[in-house]
Chains A and B, each alone.
Chain A
Amino acid sequence: MLNDLIWIPLLPLLGTLVPLFASRFSRSACAFLTAGLPALALVLVLQLAPQVFEGETVRQSFGWIPQMGLELAFRLDGLALLFTLLILGIGLLVVLYARYYLSEKDSMGKFYAYLILFMFAMLGVVMSDNLIQLWMFWELTSISSFLLISFWGHKTEARKGARMALTITGAGGLALLAGVLLIGNVVGSYSLHDVLASGDLIREHAAYPVILVLVLLGAFTKSAQFPFHFWLPHAMAAPTPVSAYLHSATMVKAGIFLMARMYPVLSGTELWFLIVSMTGLATLLLGAYVALFKHDLKGLLAYSTVSHLGLITLLLGMGTELAAVAALFHIINHATFKASLFMAAGIIDHESGSRDMRQLNGLWKYMPYTATLAMVAAAAMAGVPLLNGFLSKEMFFAETLHQDSLGSLSWMVPVFATLGGVFSVAYSLRFIHDVFFNGEPINLPKTPHEPPRYMRVPVEILVALCLLVGVLPTFVIGDLLYTASAATLQGAVPEYSLAIWHGFNFPLLMSFIALAGGIAVYVNRKELFQFQAQFPENDPKLVFEAIIQMIHKQITRFMELAENGSLQRYSYMMLSLAMVMMAKPLLDLNATAGHRPQIPVDAISITGAVLLAIGALATVIWNRQRMVALVALSVVGLIVSLMFAKFSAPDLALTQLAVEVVTVILLMLALFFLPQTTPKESSPKRVARDLGIAAVIGGVIGTISYAMMTRPLESISTFFLENSKTGGGGTNVVNVILVDFRGFDTLGEITVLGIAALGIFKLIARMRLYMPASDGDGRPWSKDSHPLMLSVVSQSLLPLALLVSAYIFLRGHNMPGGGFIAGLITSVAIIQQYIAHGVDWIKARMKLDYQLMIGSGITIAALTGLGSWFFDRPFLTSWFDHFHLPLVGEFELASAMLFDLGVYLTVVGATMLILANLGKLTTSERPVLKEHD
């Protein structure tokens, strides 16, 4: 089972959990346990390696989310093999190294967990056989590297560096996503197998330039290519093992990997050559030049990494097959020597307390063994013969000579390449000479000494590899390089020779020029440093941060303008939008009036309409005098009630009337707490604007209503008229609609009423309102709040009112009435008692729990609906029948009456909960917030 390809990434994924548990043991045990699963994964890779060497591509896939073209698909070909070996091999060495590097204060479990998570993500990238999956792991590397770089999150530079890395690589990742999706659109599949076979299709597609740029944006940002290179040096805020891992063999190589992976699909065009090779060349030169001036050991190595990545990119960009081979070769070599150099730098930092080359001098005396290792690795970086760096650089120089894509300017490429070589030698020399020789250390925090034995082991292994590859290239690396090249090119691998000696030729000459030039530059570095000092040094981290800050500021300013918290503005926007949305279609309506015969106009209707208009206008005109406005508004309500009555809807008229009464009382109660007049808040301009909108909306609604009412309509209401008596058992259609046809709506509406009451109670329970002692003109309120006359009259009215409401309730199904109106009438009667007698008086005499009434009202109504379940009918199916009792005569019983009782109770409960409690606010009986336990 372990032969499955999927275990190779899966084991490290499981391995992320190991350190979290193992961190309770000793540090060595923790490191050892952490290394276990990745080591096992390495064994699996090695087991599969022979198959791959034979030219086979091991693949395995599982279905996952077909809708997005994502499948869990892995492949192990030569290229993937090369990278898995680097990732797992160097990863394991870093685990060992970090065991000694991390201090007691650092959380080892967390560190290892992030590290192995990153390893998992990298393995996923290189082994993906599906582009969406590749992208998924790609982003996962960005995220896990963010966690690693910001491992010391309390340091501001770690936070900023990590954020910058995340932003740049994240941006590239998103571009890559777009690129990948476009490739999918072109090819019709995200499977690498299909994509790699569709090179011509993609290159000839109109979208090719876009795809190319998007994919390259992903690759360049990840691999720190100019002009996106600046994040990498600042990612050095990470602990050194992280740098050794991420910035030598893995993270930054992911971009290179992507270019190699997509090489058969995207390369071979003029555009590819121009973008990739020019970017590579610029990066190569810039990185090499800047590296020389860095005083920080890791800074130097970081820029050197940038430069070497540029070199590999340049090779890939050249588009020749040999150049691709050279690129792969340099990937291996750079990974080995750069990882060892970072580790050496970490040792120096760890044992001397500084990474500043102005302080670090003459360490040879203190740590000769480490110094030797570092010097060999640095020599490999410089491209000194007999070391691996020399070989691949030689191939690189040879390739620069063989390209001619720049036409008559092609000679510049080898020249610039050699120039890059010169600086590369110079900074390698500086690394060696400044640190290990060049006098005595200056003000080091610690006296330097050799590191613990096993901290050196990883460096030793890597340096040994540098030497072995340098001396016996074919034997050590030949097969791997060959299969990797075959997989990258997806075709025949060109003839190449890994020999150390190719005779006297141009590449060798270039190597020598680079060596000699490098020494010359280093010797004359003082002048160069002085020249460089003329440029103002700006920290990209700060520049980047400043840019983000500026964007933040601008956006904040804009958002403050847009979201200014003004309710008027928001309502204005909504109403204007409503106006446009309604008015625009009307522009196409030719004839407003329809063909329906119109009812003759009578004097009553006209009077009503005029009163309505006056009422509405008066409300607007006197809107700042609240009481007047309220009275004017009630005129509107009254006329509407009358209109309902006129158009044969007495139920609605009654309801509307009752609602009017209750709401006006409610509003008057609320007005008591408010000033009599509102301040003048709107400027004349705004008043004009608002009037305009109101007029247009009114006009539009009026037009629509007129157009609608003058047209005939065939609607479902005929059905209600026909079935009210036979199906619903009532002749009052409105009531039958309310409690039967659309009883479910009513159930919802009484719930709304109940909730509203609860909500208002909830709100006022917390309120402490200012209670005016006088009216608007300063006259004190009357001391006699409960006049005798009122008390007596209202007391005698109560039974009468209750009787009326019972009557209204009972006759509801056939005549105007019903639970809703009855409830409102009862409420009015009770409110009257409150007004007449005051809260204290009522409280002693009426034990009404309004909350209980709401709860039971809703429950009764809902239970009535539930009752039909026992007859195997849907919710709220009604039942009615006629009975005969002596004396009483024939009468009807209907399930709707029980439902109506629920409505009645809820209405009474809800209106009273609101009114009584709002009223109580004025007395000593204000509701108290019940804080539970």
Chain B
Amino acid sequence: MQHLAILPILIPLFTGALLLLPPFKDILNRQRGLALVSVTAQIIFAAMLLMTAATEGTQMYVLGDWQPPFGIVLVADRLSTMLVLLTSVLCAGALLYACAGQDKGGQYFHPLFMFQVMGINGAFLTGDIFNLFVFFEVLLIASYALLVHGGGKQKTQAAVHYVILNLIGSSLFLFGLGILYGTLGTLNIADMAIQVRHLGEAEAILAKAGGLLLLLVFGLKAALLPLHFWLPRTYSSASAPVAALFAIMTKVGIYSIFRVHTLIFGEEANLLADIALPWLWPMAMGTLAIGTLGVFASPTLRVMTANLVVISAGTLLIAAALQSEKATSAALYYMLHSTLVTGALFLIADLISRQRGKAEDRFVKSRAMAQPKLLGFAFVIAALAIIGLPPLSGFVGKVLIMRAAESTAEIIWIWPLILVSSLMGLVAISRAGTTLFWRVTTAPSSDDKAHPFEIAGIALLLAASPLLVIFGGFVTEFTADAAQQLHDLTQSVNALLPESTLHTGGDH
């Protein structure tokens, strides 16, 4: 399958376009069928791609047969294929849930959903920085539209904030790209990594401004303090399957930081080595801290989950700031875990909210839920996993990240922060859970039972948590290899630019 690497982009693209055409147009059940088939295919091909990348090495796909650094390339290495598979699984869970009826809350849910997935997969796979911008636009514009799905003033208001901030972000992205192209003269990420080493002093300064702008833009997507403020409100007002899918969106930003600021502005970037670190450190720790406070102060389960997303972003960015193979490996594991679990938690919050009637998911006394056992079980699993208590995946991720902090200074800063954050999360979630499930007044109303599809969607996402622990050895081995691949510059550059010697750029 020589075209395997592009399938994660093409399948959702074609699905999305087909959904707009007869015979799928306007007939919801057909749309659901096609979407589910498409997602299944995506999982299968993503898994195949991952296996190929793991066994046969990095797959490069040269679009239009224009050899890099001139044309656009897709790079399917361990890191990107892993995230593509993650996206497919998350999107399967969210889609299953949506097919139970939430896709009815407005038009074009399924096509938009597919386009969004296409954008996310494209962002993970591309090896070209302008193409990354294009896929950012695809996923963003689809997310704007999906955000208003289900209607309501609150959603529209949150969407306006989200759209405007991201438009500013996109403009800054373009500024950054312009500056980088204007100094490096190339758009291929691997080629940029080579060119950056040859920059003269003055050009390096300009490129630094561009590189930092990119950090800012990725930070905006990743919800880095002080750019994260849009997140709690946006995520908590989105409809459940959309919010679940959004769980991967912050990871796109974090992934880009890993990719760009390890490969281009990493250790070997000469004058521009590790330019992100002085900024990343305080901001990452601040993100973790404010996310924790946010969790503690959350009035509803959805807001709490959104703040948990901020926490996971902070934790991941701390790992990024550690800038070591070990830390990256830990971060990748944590990324798998936190994406799926927060996704599941958004879905669970929605079911809880529906079954509690007028109180929704606010932490107040209310009527009992119709399915307290089922939801309670799911909630406990998700809560334990996300706080990082054993025996679920969160604790593995946290311990891995803590172990990645090696110097005393790192330990002194990171450990207390992560541990205190865990403790406050524990306090907040146990309060939330006991209130939601046990402070009940009246009998439940029985007509709000969860649809089997909804349960299936949640189960799919939640099952990942114990599986990530049981097969932890295998998974961490994979993430370690992926991290090794990312940090080994010669290897990644050579894989991307077999003829890199031809185009050395030279001195400016």
Interface residues of A (CB under 8 A from B): 63-70, 132, 135-137, 139-140, 142-143, 146, 150, 153-154, 159, 162-163, 166-167, 170-171, 174-175, 177-178, 181, 184, 548, 551-552, 555-556, 558-560, 562-563, 565, 567, 569-571, 573-575, 577-578, 581-582, 584-586, 588-591, 594, 700-701, 704, 707-709, 711-717, 719-720, 723, 727, 740-745, 747-749, 751-752, 754-756, 758-763, 765-766, 851-852, 854-856, 858-859, 862, 866, 868-869, 872-878, 929-933
A74 to chain B, nearest CB (A): 15
Interchain CB contact under 8 A, A759 and B209: no
Chain A CB within 8 A of B135 CB: yes
CA distance A563 to B142 in the complex (A): 26
CB of B41 to closest CB in A, whole Å: 15
Measured CB to CB, the closest approach of chain A to B209, in angstroms, equals 4
Residue of A nearest to B419 (CB): A174
Among A577, A720, A766, the one with the most B-chain Cβ atoms within 10 Å of its Cβ is: A577
A interface SS class: helix
Specify which chain A residues have a CB less than 8 angstroms from the CB of B206 in the assembled complex: 585, 589, 704, 707-708
22 contacts between A and B (CB under 8 A): A68-B403, A159-B434, A184-B403, A563-B233, A574-B169, A577-B227, A578-B172, A704-B209, A720-B70, A751-B138, A758-B107, A761-B107, A761-B108, A762-B149, A766-B106, A851-B20, A852-B22, A858-B16, A859-B21, A874-B6, A874-B61, A929-B106
**How far does the Cβ of A640 sit from chain B's closest Cβ, in whole Å?**
14
Q: Which residues of chain A are near B343, meaning CB under 8 Å?
A: none
Known: A67-B477, A744-B72, A874-B62. Contact between A711 and B203, CB under 8 A?
yes
B359 CB-CB contact with A under 8 Å: no
Q: Which B residues touch A878, using CB under 8 A?
A: 64
Which chain B residue shows the least CB distance to A156?
Answer: B439
A572 to B, closest residue via Cβ: B226
State whether A875 touches B64 (Cβ < 8 A).
Answer: yes
Give Cα A691 to B426, complex, Å. 45
Given A136-B390, A558-B293, A586 contacting B72 (CB threshold 8 A)? no
Chain B residues closer than 8 Å to A866, beta-carbon distance: 10
Do A869 and B3 touch (CB < 8 A)?
yes
B399–A132 touching, CB < 8 Å: yes
Interface stretch of the complex, out of B110-118, B248-256, B262-270, B490-498: B110-118
Contact B297 A559, beta carbon cutoff 8 Å: yes
8 Å CB contact of B208 from A132, A585, A712, A929: A585
Is the Cβ of A570 less than 8 Å from the Cβ of B10? no
Looking at the assembled complex, report how far the CB atom of A209 sits from the nearest CB atom of chain B, in whole angstroms. 14
**Do residues A752 and B480 form an inter-chain contact, with CB atoms below 8 A?**
no
A731 to chain B, nearest CB (A): 18
Interface residues of B in 43-75 (CB under 8 A from A): 61-66, 69-72
Nearest A residue to B469 via CB reads A65
**Given contacts A136-B395, A744-B63, A582 and B122 within 8 Å (CB-CB):** no
Check: B452 CB closer than 8 A to any chain A CB: no
B453 close to A (CB within 8 Å): no
B346 at the interface (CB under 8 A from A): no
Residues on B with C-beta less than 8 A from A573 are: 226-227, 229
B419 touches A175 (CB 8 A): yes
Min C-beta distance of B8 to chain A, whole Å:
12
Cα of A71 to Cα of B239 in the assembled complex, Å:
41
Contacts of B183 in A (CB 8 A): 708, 711, 713
Q: Is B415 in contact with A163, judged by CB distance below 8 angstroms?
A: no
Query: Contact: A150 with B17, CB < 8 Å?
Result: no
Q: Please give, as numbers and ranges, the residues of chain A lying within 8 Å of B3 by CB-CB distance.
A: 869, 874-875
Q: Establish whether residues B202 and A745, one from each chain, have CB atoms under 8 Å apart when the complex forms.
A: no
Of the residues A162, A742, A872, contact of B71 by C-beta under 8 Å: A742
Given contacts A67-B480, A714-B508, A766-B106, contact A591 B130 (CB under 8 A): no
How many B residues, CB 8 Å from partner?
A: 124
Is A167 a contact partner of B213 (Cβ separation < 8 A)? no
Among candidates B19, B69, B138, residue contacting A716 with C-beta atoms closer than 8 Å? B69
Render B205-233 as a binary contact track against A, CB cut-off 8 A, 1 for contact.
11011001101100010000011011011
**List of B residues within 8 angstroms of A69 by Cβ:** 403
User: Which residue of chain A has its CB nearest to the CB of B20?
Assistant: A855
Are B65 and A178 within 8 A (Cβ)? no
Contact A877 B473 (CB under 8 A): no
Q: Give the most central of A153, A708, A748, A856: most B CB within 10 Å.
A: A748
Contact B202 A67 (CB under 8 A): no
Bound together, the chains give a CA A766 to CA B279 distance in angstroms of 43
Chain B 1-17 interface 0/1 with A at a Cβ cutoff of 8 Å (1 = within): 01100100010011011
Q: Which of chain B's residues has its CB closest to A592's CB?
A: B202
**A158: nearest chain-B partner, CB-CB:** B438
Chain B nearest CB: distance from A204 CB in Å? 17
- Cβ of A216 to closest chain B Cβ, rounded Å: 16
Residues of B413-442 whose CB lies within 8 A of A: 415, 419, 422-423, 426-427, 430-431, 434, 437-440
When the two chains form their complex, are residues A170 and B423 in contact, meaning their CB atoms are under 8 A apart? yes
**How far, in Å, is B421 (CB) from chain A's closest CB?**
10
Q: A70-B472, A140-B391, A755-B145 are contacts. A875–B430 as well, Cβ < 8 Å?
A: no
Contact (A571, B209) CB under 8 Å given A136-B395, A748-B134: no
Q: Could you tell me if A743 and B148 are in contact, using CB atoms closer than 8 angstroms?
A: no
**Known contacts A562-B290, A704-B179, A704-B209: A174-B422 contact under CB 8 Å:** yes
Which of B84-92, B157-165, B312-320, B454-462 is near enough to bind chain A?
A: B157-165
Chain B residues numbered 399-421 whose CB sits less than 8 Å from any CB in chain A: 399-400, 402-403, 415, 419
